[in-house]
């Protein structure tokens, strides 16, 4: 006889911890040294030893993350999400909250009180001089940390997912684009006294690239500037629809984009924290499309205004654009988008705020070859796919009905497919017809006719 | 007049039935279950213990779903069924009347009669209470023994490993699961188990469990004593028929039903793990305790309950599992020993972690089954080809259609085909494989 149970399973299973391995201890020490050096630098003692301090910070941070990642490289390759729901760092525990507050604080200081980081910024001078011929500012420091995070956590991610070649290749891709196109190349351009241009960002994510002010200043800067304007326009209006038609949104969101790159690497330990509820999905659709409408309207107004030489709005549209830059470009994408990783998951910005994701999503939903195919009736409704979908898509709700997953927000990270213990999901670019199969199909039950 | 359909058990079979009745009718639906308030995925139990997910992640529907779809949930235990009065009695004393009753009570773990089976630290795994118990029983321990080489056994081994607990795995057969898997596959899986540093003891049985209050060690049939602080008993499950034992509802090992899932009592039906078919469909077992079967049965019965009387008609059999890092899929009929009129082609990658088997008839060379380990097959294609009774040569020349491996994976179709040609001395040509899907237009 099965006795009735009165316990609440969700409460009783939360405190199992995994022991720390030797590697993790070493990693912890390295990161502690890096953090201490960071604090020392902020306090201003770095001036005389900036090179040494910088080396220690970067070196120890890299060593630390790599040694945390080493266990993933040892032993058979496979899915190892053991203990994620128990650890305080990944389960919204105390340490996660502290980390979130520190990260958020970091963003707030960078955006609004950069002078507080003066000491830290100064130790980046040697690197900045080398790359740009100029002393560092807070954005150089930020870019350097950002790139470091993508590279080191990318190494971790590759180790963790080395059973899937898709993950390995796309992670190299985001590491490459972050390092090359979002850090070294723009810095190098600066060194050559050319505009600091990011070839891997386009309107509407990098909204100002199609603002009249940016366009005119780029054009005035010389022939390279003209090419940059051309590049930006081609990417936004021609390449984006074509690539999204062929490969889905993923070509950008989980292969190229820096925001996506950070989410896929540094944000990976937090991907399961995204909200999967229907309510969250509703909010998401309202928000992300509102942002898209907003930036489109702003851009059009700016152009009209510049065409009529300020005749329509006078000086109103300028502040409007600044206001957008402040709240959406700054507060949303940085403070909330990254600062809240440990609490709300790694793709909050991409899901709720990014206008680029909104456009790509509209293409992906209505005109694309990309889909996630469900393998017939093989789903066991276990929930791994939904749990680890960083975009909060309830993948299981489709898979268990035998339906393909065609959702505007899916960034094609492929994690759902690789955590599925039954190999039910497959990211594919295929024929458009039959891509969306709304009827629940139940292969394996012949009393219900199945259309193949 | 809407009828009142009462379902005992909120597992996959009971819930699928409830959902599909709701889609087709306006009847009142009540689901009574004692284990958890909401439907969760039993197959995900291991991931809760391993910390991949929490209980709430394993619930396939959000909690508001049930009210919105007017499926009333009662969390209680049914103590008896009053067949004549058409009601069921709950443990809290209340009774619930039904017009139609569906028994979907699932299984219980087998508990063989070893000395020491009741010691603390000895347990099996079927439901949520077992996970909580396992949490208690394995806290801070170093060594565990698993007895019984089935699917739940290997899951339990993986669970223990996730908490750095050393596992000794006692398997009665000569290779892991070789009562289901052909020898080659069983060997492959056994090797992989060892790769994970599990101490796999094949052809070994449990004789006795020793300990005072808590388990201290076990003795094998060879007399060896193995120290351990935990013993997982995974020697199969049996239909859960405890509440119908004293009723007029007929049962053998499971609740006996015909092809419409009708028991011998009018208006009482049974589906899922607890069922034993009087006349199982051709090639299927009378008791089939797997997830997919429960789902298909739930769908089928729902039609009958909504006055569209429908016989159980499952398509070709399929099942899947994961042995640590190696995925397993099977379609159609693959016996551990080939039947008289059967033969098969088997291919194994030299890394010893990937294999493929196609079983076909000797006389007309029609395909009857597939096994795949470490590589994925497309269910829709397997299902179609099995129903069409495709010829093996045709299957082998279209392997690319069968494949469901992720993008950028290595492909083995050529290698498999040339192995087939060599083995059968044929010269089948492969239909040209599509280009890597990421790059074709
Ligand atoms: C650990 C584990 C892993 C598994 N993995 C797989 C897998 O990977 N693939 C696969 O195909 N199958 C798997 N199975 C088997 C699969 O889970 C079962 O076949 C399936 O869950 C059976 O569904 P069911 O609805 O018939 O019964 P159940 O899911 O057992 O649901 C029956 C429910 O009824 C309740 N109940 C019973 N009696 C009463 C009563 N008198 N009053 C009130 N409530 C009652 C029970 O508590 C239970 O919650 C696994 C099983 C286990 C235990
Ligand atoms: S649905 Fe899958 S591929 Fe898409 S974002 Fe979610 S986890 Fe990534
Ligand atoms: S992970 Fe796979 S089996 Fe589990 S619910 Fe998702 S698709 Fe289904």
For chain B, what are the domain ranges? 4-34+44-108+238-305, 122-235, 318-424
Q: What is the mean pLDDT of residues A74-93?
A: 92
How far apart, in whole angstroms, are the C-alpha atoms of residue B78 and residue B75? Answer: 10
Structural domain B4-34+44-108+238-305, CATH architecture: 3-Layer(bba) Sandwich (3.50)
Name the H helices within A345-433: 348-352, 355-366, 384-388, 395-399, 415-419
Q: How confident is the model at residue A7 (pLDDT cuts 50, 70, 90)?
A: very low
Q: Whose CA is nearest to atom 44 of ligand 1?
A: B33
Structure token pair of residue A280: 């969250």
Q: Which atom of ligand 1 is nearest to the CA of B272?
A: 26
pLDDT of residue A448: 58
pLDDT of residue A314: 62
Task: State in Å: Cα A178 to ligand 3 middle.
Answer: 32
User: Which residues of chain A lie closer than 8 angstroms to B292, CB-CB?
Assistant: 377-378, 380, 444
C-beta of residue B120 within 8 angstroms of C-beta of residue B138: no
Q: How far B361 CA sits from the closest chain A CA (Å)?
A: 22
CATH fold label, B318-424: Enolase-like; domain 1 (3.30.390)
pLDDT of residue A16: 42
CB contact under 8 A, A2 and B127: yes
The secondary structure of residue B231, as a DSSP letter, is E
Task: State in Å: Cα A387 to ligand 2 middle.
Answer: 10
- Which of A4, A18, A426 shows the shortest C-beta gap to B77? A4
A326-355 pLDDT per residue, tens: 888 888 888 888 999 999 999 999 999 999
Same fold for the domain at B4-34+44-108+238-305 and the one at B122-235?
A: yes
Is the model more confident about A386 or about A25? Answer: A386
Length of chain A measured in residues: 452
Is the model more confident about A171 or about A48? Answer: A171
Smallest CA-to-CA distance from B5 within B315, B365, B301 is with: B301
CB contact under 8 A, A82 and B51: yes
How far apart, in whole angstroms, are the C-alpha atoms of residue B148 and residue B233? Answer: 7
pLDDT of residue A9: 37
Task: Inform me whether the pLDDT recorded for A15 exceeds 90.
Answer: no
Q: Is A410 in the pocket of ligand 2 (CB under 6 A)?
A: yes
Q: At what angle do helices A50-73 and A125-132 cross, to 10 degrees?
A: 90
Task: State in Å: Cα A439 to ligand 1 middle.
Answer: 27
What is the average pLDDT score of chain A?
89
- Which of A10, A83, A450 shows the shortest C-beta gap to B55? A10
C-beta of residue A100 within 8 angstroms of C-beta of residue A343: yes
CB contact under 8 A, A414 and B59: no
Q: Whose CA is nearest to atom 7 of ligand 2?
A: A389
A421-440 pLDDT per residue, tens: 999 999 999 998 888 887 66
- Which of B378, B383, B406 shows the shortest C-beta gap to A444? B383
What's this model's pTM, rounded to 2 decimal places?
0.94
Across the 441 residues of chain B, what is the mean pLDDT of every consecutive 10-residue run?
A: 95 98 96 98 98 97 97 98 96 97 98 95 97 97 95 97 96 94 97 96 96 96 96 97 94 97 98 98 94 96 95 95 97 94 96 97 96 97 96 96 95 95 93 56 45
Residue range B122-235 forms a domain whose CATH class is: alpha beta
Q: Whose CA is nearest to atom 5 of ligand 2?
A: A410
- Which of A163, A166, A448 shows the shortest C-beta gap to B325? A163
Three-state SS for B389?
A: coil
User: Which residues of chain B lie closer than 8 angstroms to A396, CB-CB?
Assistant: 60
Structure token pair of residue A74: 């040892």
pLDDT of residue A452: 36
Chain B residue with the nearest C-alpha to that of A169: B408
Q: What is the mean pLDDT of residues A228-242?
A: 94
Q: Whose CA is nearest to atom 6 of ligand 3?
A: A385
User: Which residues of chain A lie closer than 8 angstroms to B406, CB-CB?
Assistant: 164-166, 414, 417-418, 426-427
pLDDT of residue A1: 34
CB contact under 8 A, A429 and B43: no
Three-state SS for B218?
A: strand
A317-328 pLDDT per residue, tens: 678 778 888 888
pLDDT of residue A286: 96
Three-state SS for B390?
A: coil
How far apart, in whole angstroms, are the C-alpha atoms of residue B98 and residue B88? Answer: 8
Dihedral, CA of residue B398, residue B399, residue B403 and residue B407, to nearest 10:
-90
Q: How confident is the model at residue A14 (pLDDT cuts 50, 70, 90)?
A: very low
């Amino acid at each position: 006889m099965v006795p009735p149970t009165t316990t609440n399973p969700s409460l009783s299973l939360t405190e199992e911890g995994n022991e720390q391995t030797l590697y993790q201890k070493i990693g912890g020490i390295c990161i502690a040294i890096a953090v201490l050096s960071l604090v020392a630098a902020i306090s201003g003692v770095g001036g005389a030893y900036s090179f040494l301090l910088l080396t220690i910070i970067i070196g120890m941070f890299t060593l630390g993350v790599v040694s945390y990642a080493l266990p993933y490289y040892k032993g058979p390759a496979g899915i190892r999400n053991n203990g994620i729901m128990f650890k305080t760092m990944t389960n919204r525990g105390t340490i996660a909250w502290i980390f979130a507050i520190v990260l958020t604080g970091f963003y707030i200081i960078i955006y609004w009180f950069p002078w507080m980081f003066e000491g830290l910024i100064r130790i980046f001078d040697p690197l900045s001089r080398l790359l740009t011929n100029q002393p560092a500012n807070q954005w150089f420091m930020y870019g350097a940390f950002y790139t470091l995070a993508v590279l080191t956590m990318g190494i971790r991610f590759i180790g963790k997912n080395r059973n899937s070649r898709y993950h390995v290749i796309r992670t190299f891709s985001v590491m490459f684009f972050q390092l090359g196109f979002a850090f070294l190349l723009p810095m190098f351009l600066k060194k050559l006294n050319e505009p600091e241009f990011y070839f891997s960002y386009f309107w509407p994510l990098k909204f100002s690239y199609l603002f009249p002010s940016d366009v005119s200043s780029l054009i005035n800067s010389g022939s390279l500037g003209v090419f940059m304007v051309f590049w930006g326009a081609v990417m936004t209006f021609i390449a984006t629809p074509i690539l999204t038609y062929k490969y889905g949104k993923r070509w950008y969101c989980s292969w190229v984009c820096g925001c996506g790159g950070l989410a896929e690497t540094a944000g990976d330990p937090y991907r399961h924290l995204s909200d999967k509820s229907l309510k969250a999905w509703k909010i998401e659709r309202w928000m992300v499309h509102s942002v898209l409408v907003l930036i489109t309207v702003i851009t059009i107004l700016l152009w009209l205004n510049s065409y009529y030489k300020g005749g329509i709005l006078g000086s109103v549209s300028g502040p409007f654009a600044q206001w957008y830059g402040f709240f959406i470009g700054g507060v949303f994408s940085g403070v909330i988008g990254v600062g809240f990783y440990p609490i709300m998951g790694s793709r909050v910005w991409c899901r709720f705020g990014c206008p680029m994701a909104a456009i790509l999503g509209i293409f992906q939903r209505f005109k694309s070859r990309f889909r996630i195919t469900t393998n017939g009736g093989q789903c066991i409704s276990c929930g791994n796919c939904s749990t680890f979908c960083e975009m909060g898509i309830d993948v299981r709700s489709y898979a268990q009905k035998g339906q393909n997953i065609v959702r505007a927000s899916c960034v094609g990270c492929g994690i759902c497919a690789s955590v599925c213990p039954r190999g039910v999901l497959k990211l594919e670019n295929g024929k458009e017809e039959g891509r969306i199969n709304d009827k629940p199909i139940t292969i394996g039950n012949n009393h219900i006719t199945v259309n193949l | 007049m809407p009828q009142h359909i009462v379902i005992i058990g909120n597992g996959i079979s009971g819930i699928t039935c409830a959902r599909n009745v709701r889609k087709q009718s306006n009847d009142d639906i009540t689901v009574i279950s004692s284990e958890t308030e909401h439907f969760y995925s039993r197959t995900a139990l291991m991931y809760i213990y391993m910390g991949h997910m929490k209980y709430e992640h394993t619930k396939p529907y959000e909690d508001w779903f049930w009210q919105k779809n007017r499926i009333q949930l009662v969390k209680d235990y049914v103590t008896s069924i009053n067949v004549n009065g058409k009601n069921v009695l709950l443990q809290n004393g209340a009774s619930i009347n039904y017009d139609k009753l569906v028994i979907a009570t699932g299984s219980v773990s087998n508990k063989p009669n070893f000395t020491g089976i009741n010691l603390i630290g000895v347990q099996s795994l079927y439901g949520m209470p077992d996970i909580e118990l396992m949490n208690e029983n394995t806290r801070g321990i170093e060594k565990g023994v698993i007895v019984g080489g089935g699917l739940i056994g290997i899951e339990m081994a993986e669970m223990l490993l996730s908490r750095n607990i050393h596992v000794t795995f006692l398997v009665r057969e000569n290779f892991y699961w070789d009562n289901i898997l052909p020898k080659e596959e069983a060997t492959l899986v056994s090797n992989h188990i060892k790769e994970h540093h599990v101490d796999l003891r094949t052809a070994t049985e449990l004789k006795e469990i020793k300990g005072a209050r808590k388990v201290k060690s076990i003795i094998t049939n060879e007399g060896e004593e193995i120290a351990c602080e935990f013993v997982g008993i995974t020697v199969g499950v049996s239909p859960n028929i405890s509440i119908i034992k004293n009723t007029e509802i007929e049962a053998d090992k499971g609740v006996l039903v015909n092809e419409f899932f009708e028991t011998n009592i009018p208006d009482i039906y049974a589906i899922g793990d607890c069922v034993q078919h009087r006349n199982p469909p051709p090639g299927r077992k009378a008791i089939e305790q797997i997830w997919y079967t429960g789902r298909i049965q739930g769908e089928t019965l729902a039609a009958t309950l909504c006055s569209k009387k429908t016989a159980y008609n499952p398509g070709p059999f399929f099942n899947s599992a994961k042995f640590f890092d190696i995925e397993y899929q099977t379609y159609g009929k693959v016996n551990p020993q080939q039947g008289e009129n059967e033969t098969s082609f088997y291919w194994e990658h030299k890394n010893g972690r990937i294999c493929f088997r196609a079983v076909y008839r000797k006389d007309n060379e029609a395909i009857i089954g597939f096994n795949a380990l470490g590589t994925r097959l497309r269910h829709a294609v397997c299902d179609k080809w099995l129903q069409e009774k495709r010829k093996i040569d045709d299957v082998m020349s279209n392997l690319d259609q069968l494949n469901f491996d992720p993008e950028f994976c290595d492909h083995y179709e050529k290698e498999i085909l040339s192995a087939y040609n060599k083995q059968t001395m044929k010269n089948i040509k492969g239909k040209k494989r599509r280009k890597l899907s990421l790059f074709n237009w």
